Amino acid sequence: MTLAAQPAPPLGLDAFMPGLHLHPLTREKVTLGRKLFFDQRLSRDNSIACSTCHDPAFQFTDRHPTARGIEGRTGDRRTPSLLNRGYGLSFFWDGRAATLEQQVLMPIDNPKEMDLDVNEAARRTGVSREQLAEALAAYVRTIRSGGSPYDKYIAGDANALNPAERRGLALFRGRAGCSACHIGPNLTDERFHNTGIGSAEGRFAVTGRESDRGAFKTPTLRNAALHPPFMHDGSLATVEAVIDFYDKGGNSNPRLDPEMLPLRLTATEKTDLALFLRSLSGTVEEGWETPPR
C-alpha cells in the first residue's frame, strides 16, 4: 500500500497521536477542553471563543478568507481546519508551533485574534496555564474525520467511488501530481511549499532561511471541499479554481517548488479530479463520548 493509498487513521481515542506520551487523554481533560473551546472568556472582551473561528458547522474553520478576531480585527491568513490535527507534526501555516499544546495558546494572546494574556485567560477560567494548554489540546485531538468514500474504496469497497471519481484518483496519484505533497492517511506531507500564492514571507519568518520564503504548510484535504475559500490567504473560492491554479503551474516565483509545472488537464479531467477531491469528505467526530470505530 503506497502512502497516498492509506485510509484515514482510526477514529478511536486510543489511536496514536503525537504528544500523547506527554499527557494521556482522559474523559475529564477532554470534557474540560471542550468547555474551554467554546468559552468566550478566553478573549479580552469576552466576545469570541476558539469555536468562533474554528466553527464545527464549517469543518472547524470558518467562511472568511482570513481570520477575524475581536473588534473585527482581520488576521493575515486563512483559519486552518482542526480536523485530524491530533495527527499533525507541525502547526500553523508557517509551522511556528511544534506541538498542539503550544498552538492552542497562541491565538489567545495574539492581538489580531483574542488579545488576552494567557495567564489572565487561565485565571478567568479557574485553571493553570498548563491545564489550559493540555485540556484544549486534548479536545482538539478528538476532532477527527474519516469514513469518506475514498476511505471505503481503499478499504476494499470497489463501489465506494464511481468511475469519474476513480479517474480523478488516478490523476491525483499520477499526472496531476497532487500526491507529491498530499500524501499519507491525512493527505498532507506536513511540510512547507511555495506555490507562488500570497505573502512572500511564509516559513521564512520562522526559520530565516531564504529557501523557505513564500513556503506554507500543506493542508489536509480531508473535508476540505466543504470549507471554502482555499489556500493560506483564502484567495481561491472554489475547488475548481484551485484545480485551475495548479493546472497553470501556480504563480511565477523565484523559489517556486519544482513540482509546480503546467498540467494541461482537459475539462473532463478537471471535472474528474474535482469529483475525487469531494470524495475525501467523511464523518466528523469530536469529544470523548464518540464511540471508537
pLDDT at 102 over 90: yes
Delimiting residues of CATH 1.10.760.10 domain(s) in the chain: 13-143, 145-283
In one-letter notation, the amino acid at residue 243 is: I
CATH number assigned to the domain covering 145-283 = 1.10.760.10
Architecture of domain 13-143: Orthogonal Bundle (1.10)
Q: Cα(34)–Cα(50) distance, rounded to whole angstroms? A: 10
| Region 269-290 average pLDDT | 94
Residue 276 has a CB neighbour count (10 Å cut-off) of 28
| Region 231-257 average pLDDT | 95
Closest CA to 148 of 1, 3, 293: 293
**pTM as predicted:** 0.90
- What pLDDT was estimated at residue 17? 67
- What pLDDT was estimated at residue 288? 86
| Region 67-94 average pLDDT | 95
Dump pLDDT digits (tens) for 115-142.
Answer: 999 999 999 999 999 999 999 999 999 9
Closest CA to 99 of 131, 62, 128, 141: 141
| Region 47-70 average pLDDT | 97
CA 26 from chain center: how many Å?
24
pLDDT at 1 over 50: no
Q: Are 181 and 172 in contact (CB under 8 A)?
A: no
Q: Which residue has the cell 484535504?
A: 221
Contacts of 75 (CB under 8 A, 6+ apart): 66, 67, 68, 69, 110, 112, 113
pLDDT at 244 over 90: yes
pLDDT band at 19 (very low <50, low <70, confident <90, very high): low
DSSP string covering 75-141, please? -SSPPPP-TTGGG-SSBSTT--BSSHHHHTTHHHH-TTTT---HHHHHHHHTS-HHHHHHHHHHHHT
Q: Which residue has the cell 498552538?
A: 103
